[in-house]
């Protein structure tokens, strides 16, 4: 029983071959991935399977969905690289306009956002766009 299998079972997800592969893929990638990314990485697998796997992972809090403003849903593992459990579920993501990759910037906390009276804040999504470290030539 591998680490990944344990992790999946801890989240009430049965560790099938496909799921382990997808988990591995997500773990290796440091960036948020879209369904199509996984699709091209696993050419043999059906899109639907990948789609439903991601949905399952999302439900079971293994990954969380990221909206980086490209209009395409992306996903990233919740552990180590993302603080989606903390208080207000603050997401801080950086989307590179050059390479189109989206990364989690977890070191940088989001300042408390105030909303007007009557508004109830449940969730904050912050996407910074620009040029990432790899593309800016450091």
Partner DNA sequence: ATAACTAGTGCAACAGAAGTGCATTTATTG
Partner DNA sequence: CAATAAATGCACTTCTGTTGCACTAGTTAT
Which parts of this chain interact with DNA (CB under 7 A)? 13-14, 16-19, 34-36, 44-49, 51-53, 55-56, 71-73
Q: Is 16 in the site for a second copy (CB under 8 A)?
A: no
Q: Is 99 in the site for a second copy (CB under 8 A)?
A: no
Number of Cβ atoms within 10 Å of the Cβ of 133: 10
Q: Is 122 in the site for a second copy (CB under 8 A)?
A: yes
Residues counted in the chain: 138
Distance between CA 104 and CA 94 in Å, rounded? 6
Q: Is 136 in the site for a second copy (CB under 8 A)?
A: yes
What 3-state class would DSSP assign to 65?
strand
Residues near 135 by beta carbon (within 8 Å), at least 6 away in sequence: 96, 98, 99
Partner in contact with 118, chosen from DNA, a second copy, none, beta carbon below 5 to 8 Å by kind: a second copy
Residues in contact with a second copy by CB under 8 A are: 67, 69, 71, 73, 94, 97, 105, 107-108, 110-111, 113-134, 136, 138
């Amino acid at each position: 029983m591998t680490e990944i299998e344990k992790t999946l079972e801890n989240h009430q997800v049965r560790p099938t071959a496909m799921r382990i592969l997808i988990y591995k893929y997500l773990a290796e990638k440091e960036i948020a991935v879209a369904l199509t990314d996984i699709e091209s990485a696993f050419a043999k697998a059906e899109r639907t399977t990948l789609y439903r796997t991601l949905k399952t992972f999302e439900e079971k809090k293994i990954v969380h969905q990221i909206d980086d403003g490209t209009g395409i849903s992306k996903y990233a593992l919740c552990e180590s690289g993302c603080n989606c459990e903390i208080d207000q579920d603050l997401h801080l993501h950086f989307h590179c306009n050059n390479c189109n990759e989206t990364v989690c910037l977890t070191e940088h906390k989001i300042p408390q956002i105030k909303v007007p009276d009557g508004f109830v804040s449940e969730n904050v999504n912050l996407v910074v766009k620009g040029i990432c470290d790899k593309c800016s030539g450091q």
